[in-house]
Structure 1
Amino acid sequence: MISLFFKMKTLFLGLALCLTFVGETLAQNTIQLKEYFRELKQVDVTIAGQPYTFLFDTGGGQTFVSPEVAQKIGRQPYGSATAFRMNGEMFRYQKLDSVEIRVDNVPLFHVTVGVWDLMSILPEGLPKVDGVISLKSFQDRIVTVDLAASRLQIETSATLRKQQGRLTLLPSRFANGLDGSELTIFLGIPHQDRSYWFLLDTGNISEVLLSHQTASGWGLQSDTTVQRTALNPIAIQLGRRKLVSKAAAENIIYDGVLNYDVIRQTRMTINFPAGQVWMH
């Protein structure tokens, strides 16, 4: 009888461990990306029980709520932070601390968010958005960005391990902005034994952008003029693949900026805690 008891106990313990492992493997959440304008994507979010619409932008640096949202949740913005747009334009914004934003059904706690009116820079006539979800929102998560399927997949360490043998690790840099509160990713693009660092930017719905210095170094233009220059389509080397897109040279502060079109051609799993970007 005692022997049977221990056998049953061992069986149930093994079953429990198995279910725990399966639960960890399958415990994924999907965030749907919805159409906003052209290729720009929006997501449904909830803050303090109220629904809002936010733009999804991997190049945004900071996650922002509008001043109107800050007022609705009864919070007073404070302080000042400084950021730069890709053209070098500086802008300042205020902050809020300790804000939970639920994106679809995924709760994302933010130690700090920015307070800024995105509509102030968007063309007139576009639908209202109440803020921006950036990569900063996922800084303690593992996320697969799948633009072709219009979704973000929240991974677990187990689901990543299961796929990792089929993935390619990309050279990457995780940047935190001037005061350490932002989060953007730059991918290393090899060219003639050198690495050029391009911003990962789903919000760039035009061409792949190269600085004039990069375009000149790649032999795509003869000088480093300050005028925007349309280029022939180029092949961007990412891992073992070459992804083709229209391109332009522009006066930007980075080596280059990847666009929606290139990012859509692949899936990328970003392991934020480990500082790694894997390409499918």
Structure 2
Amino acid sequence: MHIVVTFLIALLLSVPAAAQVQVQATPETSVKLEQWRSRWVLPVTIAGKPRRLLFDTAGGLTLLSRDTVTQAGCTPWGRLTGFRMFGDRGDTARCSEVAIELPGYRVAPPAVGLINLGKLNPLDAELDGLASLNMFDGKAITLDLASGELTIESEASLSHRVASMKALKVRLSREVQGLALAVLVEVPTSKGPVWMELDSGNGGTVLVGKHVAEFVGLDPNKQTKQRARFAIADGVEVQTADAFTPDIILDGNLGMPFLKNWIITLDLRRGLAWVAAAKRSAQQ
């Protein structure tokens, strides 16, 4: 009888402990993205109205349509200036403290800009803007762009998540007076490291700057697409038949042909990153 009672007490004590561990490792929130051709859309709420933002990890600034910011009570003012990867300058008026809501998460970035996606591409006309990483400044997020899931990690869930992942060397890029946020990953070459931007807004290509193309085995003078295969870390490779070597002001841009193959966790406070192979469905 004593043995049975002791066992039952031990069992009862273990259940809350297990539950506590599970609760402590729960992320802040997880959001299902919506498929948008070869890219993803982040559903949000702004000023009480559902909005759909193209999820673009290389966008730098979150950009909203004029209708969206007007409904949120902002009259755009001033100017923000940045440069796109082909070197062309972009100017936009700004809005401050526009609240953007996801289930379990609310953020009001210090600044958002304006964009008309339909003017850039008529197929994107129904979208309300561009969601960039500055929406998650100071947070840790995990991107599973094979299945379309974005997770905002807690400290506990971050520790649990990355324990089995491979660390990557990254830099946080902050342009537009420090208001923008993007992530560049180190790519080793025989001459030294180069840094390539993670870009979920690039649905179909990997771009390697003409000035570094030969160092990752590509032809800098080829005008058409070519096959690329180069390492980022042990067991982590870029492999695609859709690489180009344009004259850009970045070393490179890793779009969905790379990102869809990996689960990537980004600590946007500490400037750290980890990667694991994405799970592929039978259809993929």
Q: TM (normalized to structure 2)?
A: 0.85
For structure 1, the 5+ residue unaligned runs are 1-13
Matches within 5 A, 1:220-231: 220-221=218-219, 229-231=223-225
Shift of 1:22: 3.8
Shift of 1:84: 1.2
- Matches of 1:207 and 1:125, distance apart in 2: 18
- Matches of 1:236 and 1:109, distance apart in 2: 39
SS of residue paired to 2:110 = strand
Shift of 1:139: 0.8
Identify the residue that residue 111 of structure 2 maps to in structure 1.
112
Identify the residue that residue 4 of structure 1 maps to in structure 2.
none
SS of residue paired to 1:148 = coil
Identify the residue that residue 153 of structure 1 maps to in structure 2.
151
Identify the residue that residue 29 of structure 2 maps to in structure 1.
29
- Matches of 2:103 and 2:147, distance apart in 1: 16
Closer, same or farther: CA 212–98 of 1 in aligned 2, 3 Å: same
1:58 aligns to 2:57 (yes or no): yes
SS of residue paired to 1:71 = helix
- 8 Å Cα contact 1:98-1:112 kept in structure 2: yes
Closer, same or farther: CA 163–46 of 1 in aligned 2, 3 Å: closer
Shift of 1:47: 0.9
SS of residue paired to 2:245 = strand
Matches within 5 A, 1:1-280: 22-36=22-36, 38-122=37-121, 124-221=122-219, 229-241=223-235, 242-246=237-241, 247-280=243-276
Q: Please state which structure has a larger fraction of its residues in strand.
A: 1
SS of residue paired to 1:229 = coil
User: One-letter code of the match for 1:201?
Assistant: D
Give RMSD over aligned pairs. Answer: 2.4
- Matches of 1:157 and 1:193, distance apart in 2: 37
User: One-letter code of the match for 1:245?
Assistant: T
What is the aligned length?
Answer: 263
SS of residue paired to 1:87 = coil
Deviations 1:40-73 (A, max 9, x none): 2112110121111111000111011111111112
- Matches of 2:161 and 2:91, distance apart in 1: 41
Using the aligned pairs only, state the percent identity: 26
User: One-letter code of the match for 2:32?
Assistant: Q
- 8 Å Cα contact 2:96-2:112 kept in structure 1: yes
User: One-letter code of the match for 1:57?
Assistant: D
Identify the residue that residue 9 of structure 1 maps to in structure 2.
none
- 8 Å Cα contact 2:79-2:93 kept in structure 1: yes
Shift of 1:126: 3.7
User: One-letter code of the match for 1:230?
Assistant: T
Deviations 1:203-255 (A, max 9, x none): 1123211111112444532xx65xx7234311231322223112111121111
Deviations 1:181-203 (A, max 9, x none): 10011111112151111111011
